[in-house]
Amino acid sequence: MQHLFVKKFTCVSFALSTFVHYVVIVLFKLRLHGLFNKLFPMSRSSENSLAVAISLLTQELITQRHQREHDHNQAILKRLAEIERNIMSKITEFAAAQKAFNERQATAIDKVVTSVEGITGDLKTLNDKIEALQNSQGEVTPEDQVLLDELQTAGSELATKLETVSTALEALDAQTPPTPPTP
């Protein structure tokens, strides 16, 4: 509201100063052609006083207009500086939040990699035991039964590890934003 008032006041002030300026020009032209004294009979000193007063009024109006424009520009610059500080603050906050998010992601990824490496080792061990059983001859011996029991236990452990990795991957996926829809 104040901005609108200042703008209207500036326009009125500009119009008034322009009007006074044209009046001075008209009076000066009338004086050149000798018509001024015929239209407005007055003494030479009154004529000079009027010209000086009009000139001073014009100068004062111009000065006031420049001061208002300067004050208005300063207010705009101050507001722009506030906006800039606000934007920079938001960027700093976002950068800190993004850094924390990236660190959580890196930790989760490291855990998944460790789990996958462990599962890979477990699979190699199971494959070696299966190969040993396939290479044995005849009936199930007590040693073969021990190997079968170990395989069953290792298989259960492997299933548990896979469930853990699956849960970790779901948690990792939950931390990331969803894929944006395609346009």
Per-residue H/E/C for 61-76 = HHHHHHHHHHHHHHHH
- Note the helical H segments in the chain: 2-32, 36-39, 44-134, 142-175
Across 98-125, average pLDDT: 81
Across 91-99, average pLDDT: 87
Q: Is pTM beyond 0.95 here?
A: no
pLDDT digits (tens, 9 = 90+) for 130-156: 777 767 776 777 887 787 788 788 877
DSSP 8-state class, residue 135: T
118 vs 157: CA distance, rounded Å: 11
Across 23-33, average pLDDT: 62
In the chain, where are the structural domains located?
Answer: 2-94, 99-175
Q: How many CB atoms lie within 10 A of CB 1?
A: 5
CB 54 within 8 A of CB 30: no
CB 122 within 8 A of CB 161: yes
Q: Which amino acid is at 140?
A: V
Residue whose structure tokens are 């890979």: 120
DSSP 8-state class, residue 33: T
So what's the pLDDT on residue 183? 63
